[in-house]
Chain A
Amino acid sequence: MEETKNGTTMVVFDGDLDKAIASFIIATGAAAMGKNVTMFFTFWGLNVLRKDNVISGSDKTMMEKMFGKMMPRGPEKLALSKMNFGGMGPKMMKKMMKNHNVSSLKEMIEMAQDLDVKMVACTMSMDVMGLKEEELIDGLDYAGVASYLAEAEESNINLFI
């Protein structure tokens, strides 16, 4: 059987809860369909991968610390892109998701890792936003634009979310 392009690539640029959920539903779905899935996290998307515990980061500059404080730490802290209502929106959506048996974002991330979805953190945007490897979840790859483009060339589905 000839299979030339069997990849799905995704740039996760936004750090909104709703967009992150959509990204992970597509990623896990694609993995279930036998695709080689690569998610490339850049800029606000990196916040989806943050651990929720505070990392002291004594080696951080003043600005890096500020960024770290202001940005959401991980899937439980993300805001909605619409109807956020100062945090009430995500609470309501999580309740609705639970009622409809939709997995939580955290569970979806674990499921994606279990299905061998490759998650890549963009090192350039990590530097720009002052994020360190120890602040992000385990099991990530660290790379730049060339790695993403090389993966995208092997894909027939490519999304920017």
Chain B
Amino acid sequence: MNVTKTVDAKGLACPMPVVKAKKAMDELQAGDVLEIISTDKGAKADLPAWTKSSGHELVEQTEAGNEYTFWIKKG
């Protein structure tokens, strides 16, 4: 997967992961892929919800230990 930009949101609590995702996404073009890594348990549900509501596409999401990684394609 071609990742255009990576956002490290580790250690940040709600609502920072979605705020960071939004800010990063604003700088990308349609079709670009944003990778975002979070350690917030809520982000597991929140980032997919944010993706859907913002009109983007969740390509993949993985979980390793307490780290959640998401790949989101800009819509």
Seen from chain A, the residues whose Cβ lies within 8 Å of a Cβ on chain B are 1, 25, 28-29, 31-34, 100-103, 111, 115
* Chain B interfacial residues counted at CB < 8 A: 14
Count of CB-CB pairs between chains A and B under 8 Å: 36
In the complex, are the beta carbons of B14 and A34 less than 8 A apart? no
B19 proximity list for chain A (CB < 8 A): 28-29, 31-32, 111, 115
B18 proximity list for chain A (CB < 8 A): 29, 32-33
Let me know if B21 is at the binding interface, CB within 8 A. Answer: yes
B21 proximity list for chain A (CB < 8 A): 32
In the complex, are the beta carbons of A33 and B12 less than 8 A apart? no
Residue in A25, A33, A111, A115 whose CB lies within 8 Å of B14: A25
Residue in B13, B15, B54 whose CB lies within 8 Å of A34: B54
Sort A-B residue pairs by CB-CB distance and give the 7 closest, nearest first: A32-B22, A29-B15, A32-B18, A102-B13, A32-B19, A101-B13, A33-B53
